[in-house]
Structure 1
Amino acid sequence: MVQSRFAHYLLLALVMALVTLPNLGASSLWDVDEGVNAGCTREMMESGTWVVPTFNGELRTAKPVMLYWLQRVSFNLFGVGEWAARLPAVLLGLGTVLLTYELARRMFDAATGLLAGIVLATAIEFCKLSHAATPDAPLIFFITLTLYLFWVGHEHGGRTWFYTAAVASGLATLTKGPVGLAMPGLIVFVYFLWNRELKRFLDIRLIRGILLWVLVAVPWYAVVIAETRGAYLAFFRNENAGRFLNAMEGHRGPVVYYVGALFAFFAPWCVFLGGAIWFAVRSATPRTLSSVGGLPMQDVRANRFLLCWAGAYLIFFSLAATKLPNYIGPLYPAVAILTARFLVRWRTAEITLPKWVMPAATIGVGVVGTVFVAALLVGGGAIPLNLKGQRIVPGLAKWAPVGGVLIVAAGLMAWFLAKGQRLQFVRTVTAATVLFIGTLAAFVVNELDPYKAPKSLVAESGTHQPDREIRLASLDYTQPSVTFYAERKVERMQSALEASTFLAMPLPAYLFVPANVWDEQLAGKVASPYRVVARRFDFYRNGDVLVVTNQ
């Protein structure tokens, strides 16, 4: 196998390009998050501020500033739009893949690094976040950078990591708040505790590192809190303590939520996850060294660190009340390395597995493919289930054969397994996953776009009129991308009476309202003249949405 870093970088960049760049800007912004984030960045540009984030004319305290800075640079270079809004995620996703490669190569070898990078790039959740105009891809990058710098700085007994990791952690804190410091700190603490090395924290460099973190992370928070007269403090109260203690916006789940989410969103590599974790635990336990081939202490420490990394995220966020799959996004690099190491050592016959493990994994790949075939047929209406609230997107059914890629791959994997051709086995699942995920991300997801109403409603209703004095409002319809595409504040009506009064004003007024709400609460009850200027089915509401004007 080629060991050249340059060749490996090229291959990893090619894989990331294949699974992220095609049709990156073809889909309109996803609500709620993409619409709010891109809209906030545009408003900061228009107001000329780099400090105070606003959306729809109001202070936005939900997220810190790093994503807005990154998107602003992208908007300045490429213009305001979906492609530019998502480009930072793609670039930082690639950065995370390369960091994962380098970390795995330092921990183990080049083969593990290369496979770890490909596994990460083609894991469903990581690929999704690397397309999204959200803070998740930047956070994953800066957390991975923090932990990479720690590992590189400490692996030979060095202490420089106190400084380099502090800077990276400060950038993570500017991306999503205190977790940028708390989670890397927890991981390093548990890792040192496992190794009985807590005394390594007793160093003057720790204080200097904290001061360096303060210099990076705190100034923006101090300035934004001062400029908003303390209003931005709501970020710490609501988005940190509040989300941990209370299930906000209905995002709740059982304590095992993230275990299930990890297996679902690490597909199709999840079929190897059980074996990878089993092998990593055995490798991290000194008394079992003889049973795993006499591993050097470097391998033992590496496995311990990766297990602490993944375990800290799983346990911490499992205890939190608010649960969303992206919250554990930063653990995917660790899980990718563990999976790659497991497959590489199996391929080179350095470990012996029970005879059923790889056949079961092969069947698992086929099962994942079959599940996707069924899901696309059901989602496309080809298999009618008539479930309550089911959303049908007819274009999905034609993409059902994409799941067949994994089914065919499973057949080839079984063939190579029977022949003892382990290298071909690994190459088959890798190539099939790149093709599967790339097609899914570039084409299948975009079938939903015609059913996302905000961009079409704005275009058809003529509400994008930045140079004309008009007013926009919504009743029971709060998709933030309406604000982004209309480039205008959308007032939130709280009642049918308020909406009716809004349409009676002398200025041109446009009301965005679900058709059923209009029919039940407003139709025939609005005293002033009105007309419906746009009507679209909306995937989010699973029903039609209207734009009604007094013009």
Structure 2
Amino acid sequence: MALLVLGAGLGMRDPWPSDEPRFALVAKQMVESGDWLFPHRGTELYSDKPPMLMWSQATLYTLIGDWRVAFLLPSLLAALGTLACVYDLGRRLWTRRVGLYAAWALLFALHFTFQSKKAQIDPLVVFFITLANYGLLRHLLSGPAWRWWWLGWFAAGLGVITKGVGVIALLMIVPAAVASLLGWPRVKLHIRDWRFWAGPLAFVLAIALWLVPMVVTALGSGSVEYRAYLDDILFRQTAKRYAQSWDHHQPWWYFLGTMPSMWIPAFLAIPWAIPAWRRRLQRRDARYLLPLVWWLLIVLFFSIPNGKRDVYILPALPMFCLALAPLLPGLLRKRAFQWLLGGFVALLAAGLLGIGISMLMGQPGFERKLILDRGIDTAVTSGLGWVAVALGCWAVLTLCVAGVRRFHLAVVATLTMAWVAFGLIGYPLFNDSSSARGLMHQVGERIGADAELGLVAWKEQNLLMADRNAATFGFNRRWDRQLADGVAWQAAQPQRRWLLVQEDALLACVDRTSAELAGVANRRRWWLVRPGDIHGPCVASAEEQARERALHRIDGDE
């Protein structure tokens, strides 16, 4: 079932913004250049994230030779690994039935499923953090188990070189240490054993697999570019970004709204789970203490800085489902809980039917947003309308068939069909506009096979989806400077060189009456510019520079 829900649509789409094209482009350039140690985005070094995901994508492409499969496969494998860890922990700490409930709750939690079907770093870091929790809990609650203890530390280190925050897995030791000091049964740290201290060495070893060769190469080369990459990825993108977050500003209570909205349907059990957890903690059951306190520590950790995103607390979801699983057999026998699950499916059905009917009846709000912002034609919006209506009818049918005492089966059936339809139908319908494949295909046909293409104010999907080796003039550089360099590049061979320019980067030097609108993709309009469309020097005014800075901030929020 997990393979069906998470894998439906694999190989049927290209990378979609905001992050997927970036990582896929970096991985592709790794394969093409052979430089796997210092990732590049176009001609510039990419230092925003450690390279673990890109390594995974590049390795899988080397093995299977298909980017459409390789870019999504790390997320799928990581999600399956996370489910396996949660299931096996539940089985070992309680029973096989509890393990299955934990895995089912995690699989259909909207946040987990949604992220696992995307080619971003988060599914991979969630797997490494969950694997670290698995190893630590095997030792702390069922130990001594030194190999699992070492694996837990090593996996946390791999999480660090995946996204930096992998170290949060080690916070599991905090409630374990407190419980051990208070004499709770089952919890043992074995701190006097020398093998205990081999754990931190395993953590350092995992980080050193990437850090040591990268630092040695950067310092030994004498390259200013490599040294800047080193400083940015080790300092600005880690500790400084946490302490002085510069984007995604949210209030301190942000995650208190994120979890109830994104961790459903599992989070619907909270009103009954909290008193049940309290009773078990009063009985000093450490199997609940460790994952629950760790969950709260993660929420607290990410609530401190101003910058917050919903994916930050995704690593806590597997442990939440693990602590919830022993309660689910009893909760599913409660009529109130079943009615709550039924209400969730009913609301989902009403929403799908309402959206689908509105799209089929041509309500302008839906069509305008899809057509103007996404570049999707009316034939596609009609298809989406029918899909939404079909899913809404399916949800109603599952409620009728399941009955009052088995509404949880309606939840499983409805969400399964929705995710499968999203993969098998939604992927092909949205792909051309969301991935920029359609735009770049049209551009390639318009300029001809022998022409050269330059990109100005480009996004990663433009370079990734281009049908030829496109010239770029920097990525993080100011757009007016990119345009000026692009115009100079074009002037060297004006008969065969074209520029593809984002509309917001078109300065007064570009004559829009003669330039061609290439198309709309990812809520942006793109123009083809020829040498004859340029009149005068391309210099940005103060107002145009301010607008560009504002647009960069919006791109960062995406």
Using the size of structure 1 for normalisation, the TM-score is 0.81
SS in 1 for 2:500: strand
Q: Which amino acid aligns with 1:454?
A: A
Relative to structure 1, the CA distance from residue 154 to residue 509 in structure 2 (aligned partners, 3 Å threshold; closer, same or farther) is same
235, 239, 261: which one aligns with 2:258: 261
Report the CA distance between 1:221 and its aligned residue.
Answer: 1.2
Tell me if 1:226 matches 2:216.
Answer: yes
Matched ranges for 1:493-532 at <5 A: 494-495=479-480, 500-506=487-493, 508-515=496-503, 518=506, 521-524=508-511, 532=516
Aligned twin of 1:397: 385
Tell me if 1:546 matches 2:527.
Answer: yes
Contact 2:503 2:527 in 1 (8 A): yes
More divergent stretch after superposition (183-192 vs 481-490): 481-490
SS in 2 for 1:284: helix
Aligned twin of 2:460: 480
Tell me if 1:283 matches 2:280.
Answer: yes
Give the Cα separation in 1 of the matches to 2:29 and 2:81: 28
What whole-Å deviation, never above 9, does each CA across 1:277-302 have from its counterpart, x for those lacking one?
A: 4433432233xxxxxxxxxx6xx222
Contact 1:112 1:340 in 2 (8 A): yes
Contact 2:109 2:264 in 1 (8 A): yes
Give the Cα separation in 2 of the matches to 1:28 and 1:386: 24
Aligned twin of 2:249: 252
Aligned twin of 1:426: 408
Relative to structure 1, the CA distance from residue 409 to residue 246 in structure 2 (aligned partners, 3 Å threshold; closer, same or farther) is farther
Give the Cα separation in 1 of the matches to 2:37 and 2:238: 20
Q: Which amino acid aligns with 2:519?
A: R
Aligned twin of 1:107: 93
166, 172, 185: which one aligns with 1:187: 172
Report the CA distance between 1:523 and its aligned residue.
Answer: 4.4
Report the CA distance between 1:488 and its aligned residue.
Answer: 4.0
Matched ranges for 1:74-85 at <5 A: 74-85=60-71
Give the Cα separation in 1 of the matches to 2:353 and 2:238: 39
Give the Cα separation in 2 of the matches to 1:463 and 1:30: 22
Matched ranges for 1:38-77 at <5 A: 38-77=24-63
Aligned twin of 2:552: none
Report the CA distance between 1:247 and its aligned residue.
Answer: 4.1
Give the Cα separation in 1 of the matches to 2:38 and 2:336: 57
Contact 2:52 2:162 in 1 (8 A): yes
Give the Cα separation in 1 of the matches to 2:408 and 2:134: 26
Matched ranges for 1:144-159 at <5 A: 144-158=130-144
Report the CA distance between 1:35 and its aligned residue.
Answer: 0.9
Contact 1:370 1:404 in 2 (8 A): no
Give the Cα separation in 1 of the matches to 2:462 and 2:450: 17
Relative to structure 1, the CA distance from residue 58 to residue 80 in structure 2 (aligned partners, 3 Å threshold; closer, same or farther) is farther
SS in 2 for 1:521: coil
What whole-Å deviation, never above 9, does each CA across 1:511-535 have from its counterpart, x for those lacking one?
A: 22244764x7354279xxx863x72
Give the Cα separation in 2 of the matches to 1:277 and 1:54: 48
Relative to structure 1, the CA distance from residue 342 to residue 404 in structure 2 (aligned partners, 3 Å threshold; closer, same or farther) is farther
Contact 1:457 1:547 in 2 (8 A): no
Tell me if 1:535 matches 2:513.
Answer: no
Aligned twin of 1:290: none
Contact 2:302 2:313 in 1 (8 A): yes
Contact 2:435 2:522 in 1 (8 A): yes
SS in 2 for 1:133: coil
Q: Which amino acid aligns with 1:240?
A: T
Relative to structure 1, the CA distance from residue 369 to residue 313 in structure 2 (aligned partners, 3 Å threshold; closer, same or farther) is farther
RMSD, matched Cα? 3.3
Aligned twin of 1:456: 438
> Identity over the aligned pairs, expressed in percent?
22
Tell me if 1:32 matches 2:29.
Answer: no
Tell me if 1:19 matches 2:5.
Answer: yes
Q: Which amino acid aligns with 1:319?
A: I
Q: How many residues align?
A: 500
SS in 1 for 2:259: helix
What whole-Å deviation, never above 9, does each CA across 1:104-149 have from its counterpart, x for those lacking one?
A: 1112211221122222222222222222222212111111111111
More divergent stretch after superposition (32-41 vs 302-311): 302-311
Q: Which amino acid aligns with 2:20?
A: E
SS in 1 for 2:499: strand
Q: Which amino acid aligns with 1:60?
A: Y
Relative to structure 1, the CA distance from residue 378 to residue 65 in structure 2 (aligned partners, 3 Å threshold; closer, same or farther) is farther
Tell me if 1:171 matches 2:151.
Answer: no
Contact 1:512 1:548 in 2 (8 A): yes
302, 308, 320: which one aligns with 2:287: 302
Q: Which amino acid aligns with 1:207?
A: W
Contact 2:515 2:527 in 1 (8 A): no
Give the Cα separation in 2 of the matches to 1:221 and 1:514: 37
Q: Which amino acid aligns with 2:273?
A: A
308, 311, 319: which one aligns with 2:304: 319
Using the size of structure 2 for normalisation, the TM-score is 0.80
Report the CA distance between 1:102 and its aligned residue.
Answer: 0.6
Report the CA distance between 1:64 and its aligned residue.
Answer: 1.2
Relative to structure 1, the CA distance from residue 464 to residue 546 in structure 2 (aligned partners, 3 Å threshold; closer, same or farther) is closer
What whole-Å deviation, never above 9, does each CA across 1:42-68 have from its counterpart, x for those lacking one?
A: 111222133221111221111112212
Relative to structure 1, the CA distance from residue 379 to residue 523 in structure 2 (aligned partners, 3 Å threshold; closer, same or farther) is farther
Q: Flag structure 1 segments of 5+ consecutive residues without an equivalent.
A: 1-14, 287-296, 418-423
Relative to structure 1, the CA distance from residue 432 to residue 456 in structure 2 (aligned partners, 3 Å threshold; closer, same or farther) is closer
350, 365, 379: which one aligns with 1:370: 350
Give the Cα separation in 1 of the matches to 2:272 and 2:353: 26
